[in-house]
Amino acid sequence: MTNAVTELKNIGKAAKEASRKLAYLSTDVKNKALLNIAEDLRSKTKEILTANKLDLKQAMANGINKTMQDRLLLNETRLEGMAKDVLNVATLPDPVGEVFDMRTMPNGLLIGRKRVPLGAIGAMYESRPNVTVDIATLCLKSGNAVILRGGKEAINSNLALSKLVQKAIARASVPEGAVQFIENTDRSLVDKMLKMNEYIDLMIPRGSDAFVRLVVRNATMAVVAGGIGVCHTYIDLTADIDKAVAIVYNAKVQKPSVCNALDTILVHKGIAARFLSLVAKELAKAGVELHCDARSLSILKSKRGLKLKAAVKEDWGKEFLALIAAVKVVGSLDEALEHIARYGSGHSEAIVTEDYASGMRFLNEVDAACVYLNASTRFTDGSQFGLGAEVGISTQKMHARGPLGLKELTSYKWIIFGNGQVRP
């Protein structure tokens, strides 16, 4: 254990040291490194898939469910997708070095802000091995050193991928220590890593609500927390019913296991009967179970083929991550806003309405990372927002909110060009 801790510290030191050089590594070198990674993902599929098979075998021996198996699985198509994602990051503009707010002050000082990397980033995540490559490439392009710690179940895949990345970027002369992976999956090392604020500037935890909370509570460095999405879609009195049904269906069904999927349907009483009958029928085709408040239950209970339950208190503010949605009839937009303020997690919230004033009030008054007017909350995603990719989604207000792309992995410094100025 003492050895493991010493090793962890050395990883931290190496990251910090590498970060000083990465801060002013040229865009050309960084892009060359990214091209090398993509190349190797295409040419070394065999090694990666062999490692992945080991993880899958172990997972099945442990009786892991199908969803989890699918999250673990790599194949040639997925590796090609990863290679394309890396190439995409290479085409994105380098955020580092951007100068903004530059101006000449009355005393002749030229003052502005220059974008710089954050330094060394720690990332803790679960199962999906592609996250290893995603986060490594985004950190590299934004000039940050990164220490990766993946889940135990994907250890062989992650090790193979991180070694591939390390070799690929070394060929482009990226400083050693830029991308490191913690091989030891001992849980107690998580806590040790959270105390390494001397070496790690920012921690990005990805995983369950409980895990993210644990990191927030114990980390000594800055944390970008998020990913917990209790997402509401409110169907206003004047909603276009077809759009409303399509949006709710998409937000709930297209990928129910993710944070931007719909959890609660709020619907105005004046449109509830028509809307709920239609949407419930569609959702039933996908096997969605509805947890209904008294009013929505009385509308739906006579319909055939629906999976209905009476909602309990715990259904409000719950992130289902499954084919389940809570349903509530509200008396007004104000009641919907109140409900969202009380139960939302500040992730993604939507209104469907044809009324201008209602739409604008919702956009203004809902306090969340992403607020939608007539669109599915499933769009909350770095690539869908034009950021190219993301290392996570922040539900906090400090530093960055919503999807974290390259720019969100940077800070700035003030640069001041003088000619001997002193303060009077």
Interface with a second copy (CB under 8 A): 20, 23-24, 103, 105, 109, 111, 114, 116, 118-119, 201-202, 222, 240, 242-243, 246-247, 249-251, 254, 341, 363-365, 367-376, 378-380, 384-386, 396-399, 401-402, 411-423
Nearer to a second copy (CB atom), residue 164 or residue 251: 251
Find out whether 395 and 227 touch, Cβ atoms under 8 Å.
yes
**Shortest distance, CB of residue 411 to a second copy, whole angstroms?**
4
Residues 6+ apart with CB under 8 A from 16: 119, 120, 145, 198, 199
**Shortest distance, CB of residue 158 to a second copy, whole angstroms?**
27
Nearer to a second copy (CB atom), residue 185 or residue 238: 238
Q: Which amino acid type is present at position 153?
A: E
Nearer to a second copy (CB atom), residue 277 or residue 396: 396
Nearer to a second copy (CB atom), residue 69 or residue 197: 197
**Shortest distance, CB of residue 343 to a second copy, whole angstroms?**
15
Nearer to a second copy (CB atom), residue 156 or residue 394: 394
Find out whether 157 and 52 touch, Cβ atoms under 8 Å.
yes
Closest to 27 in 3D by CA, of 121, 112, 77, 92: 92
**Shortest distance, CB of residue 105 to a second copy, whole angstroms?**
6
Nearer to a second copy (CB atom), residue 186 or residue 367: 367
Nearer to a second copy (CB atom), residue 1 or residue 398: 398
**Shortest distance, CB of residue 118 to a second copy, whole angstroms?**
5
β-partners of residue 222 are 202
Find out whether 116 and 407 touch, Cβ atoms under 8 Å.
no
C-alpha torsion sign, points 128, 130, 132, 134: negative
Nearer to a second copy (CB atom), residue 114 or residue 318: 114
**Shortest distance, CB of residue 229 to a second copy, whole angstroms?**
13
Q: How are beta strands 402-403 and 393-394 bridged, if at all?
A: antiparallel
β-partners of residue 273 are none
Query: In the numeric block, which tokens belong to residue 333?
Result: 């937009």
Task: Find the DSSP H helices in 225-293.
Answer: 241-253, 269-285
**Shortest distance, CB of residue 373 to a second copy, whole angstroms?**
5
Find out whether 308 and 327 touch, Cβ atoms under 8 Å.
no
**Shortest distance, CB of residue 410 to a second copy, whole angstroms?**
9
Is the backbone of residue 194 left (phi > 0), alpha (psi -120 to 50) or beta? alpha
CA 390 – CA 387 distance, rounded (Å)? 7
Task: Find the DSSP H helices in 180-268.
Answer: 188-194, 209-218, 241-253
Q: Which amino acid type is present at position 60?
A: M
Tokens 């490559």 belong to residue: 133
